[in-house]
Chain A
Amino acid sequence: MTASLTLVIVAAVLFGTGITVMLERSLTRVLIGFLLVGNGVNLFLFVMAGEPGLAPILGEGDVSELSDPLPQAFVLTAIVINLGITAFMLALIYRSWWLAQLGERGDLIGDEEEIVEDAEETADLYRSSEADDLAVQEVLDASDEDGGRP
């Protein structure tokens, strides 16, 4: 079997860096490590197709010149699975961060308290944006005065 050395080296680097990052404590880094290793494995699967050839479509060329389509199908499936798992992991990481921020209180915040907090936040937002608006207006006025001067 002939395979591309470049792809093998890239896969090896992905494995190495991925495993190193996976050993960190932070969940986000574990996820990044998993993604790196996952892509390494995908490349690895791809390399196993052997010598690259024409696109595996009937009529494209002689059968012996086509590349092996099966590993490509495997890789596509694996990518889809990785995507789903990544989405779930991100949700899990967010949840775990949320719990870490609020501790045991995380689950106990009542709706009313939340509404009050939300209202305060909104009011803060309005105040700060009003201040911004005023500042912008002042700058505009100043530039108007500058521009208006003959």
Chain B
Amino acid sequence: MLAFQGGDRRAFEALFARYTPRVLTFLTRMVRDRARAEELTQDVFVRIYNAADRYEARARFSTYVFGIAHNLALNELARAHRKHEQARPDLSALGAIDPAPGAEEQLDAERTRGRLERAIAELPERQRAAVLLRSEQGLDYEEIATALETSISSVKSLLHRARETLLAALGKEDA
């Protein structure tokens, strides 16, 4: 990012290539609408591009990126809620399920994944964001706290509640 601030467009292209799948994955699971998540991902990078001269490297770049993505996701969910258009969980957008015919273990794995994705989609927004940033994107507690603009103890609480719900969802259907 600092190289891009210095005028190196290729540095921005490298960031774009590296972070696009991560941001798009995060936003797709946050807003549960693939097409809208693509637009929001574009918005994230437009904001980064336009604000490059004001960027200060106070934290890891991933924290900066996911902080923007999280805010846009919350705005989108609030907008959809206001319009009574709460996005329907579009679980087909979360990855194609293509089990190999006859492979029972793989089918079980796909079922488990489907249950997990449904349970993630039903989590409260901030719990969903915290657990995705931790387990999918690999941010540590401090980075999640920065991205979500909250405290580390709040992150611990969000993660704990989210995991309780997810474990219960998986355990319930296993039973």
Same assembly? no
- Give residues in A with beta carbon < 8 Å to B: none
Q: Which residues of B contact A (CB under 8 A)?
A: none
